[in-house]
Structure 1
Amino acid sequence: MTGVSGEESVSLDLLRQKMRDFAKERGWEPYHTPRNLLLALVGEMGELSEIFQWKGEVERGLPNWKEEEKVHLGEELSDVLLYLIQLSDSCNIDLGQVALRKLQLNAVKYPVSK
């Protein structure tokens, strides 16, 4: 599945700025508090979960899924990602940097030798 713009990668910074602009243009900033964004994220996680709810185990790559199911999945995954980025932004957390740090911590906690 390819992206809309055809770009190979999109940065978290670009998404964060686009979400800031999107909310500002609509006057939504006052409502985008950490609590509200977290609750919206949880709601979107519920919608994402519903897609898998009755499918049983799903193979990597979704070979048995219809194209419209994959599109719907992509939309819900995007909603989750965008709310997560907004939540981290509203908390002044650099999500990319803390994710890299967490990977380093996990490498120490779960070394290859285990």
Structure 2
Amino acid sequence: MGLDWIGFGYATLVASGGMIGYAKAGSIPSLAAGLLFGGLAGYGAYQVSQDPKNIWLSLLASGTLAGIMSLRFYNSGKFMPAGLIAGASLLMVGRLGLKMLEKPHKG
């Protein structure tokens, strides 16, 4: 069983986005949300690494962020950070959806 490198990369992107939002604008809500959702995504990636079918926490974190950040992108029209996180989150939701459809491997 390999590590879910894509999931860990996504978690890092989300957490670092919150830290950058705090560093640039002093936004405590950005910091809190980035660390919360980055932590959830990171733990979800750990769960997927242990069992590739255990996608639910990752799906919850990325799906929630996809919705929230898509709405923020729609309202602001700004790619950074809302569009970037919305796009990455939508890609994660799609990736996890494909994992749900995979047939179990026989070993």
Q: TM-score, normalised by structure 2?
A: 0.41
Give the greater-gyration-radius structure (CA): 1
Name the one with the larger helix percent.
Answer: 2
Q: TM-score, normalised by structure 1?
A: 0.39
Larger relative contact order (C-alpha < 8 A, sep ≥ 6)? 1
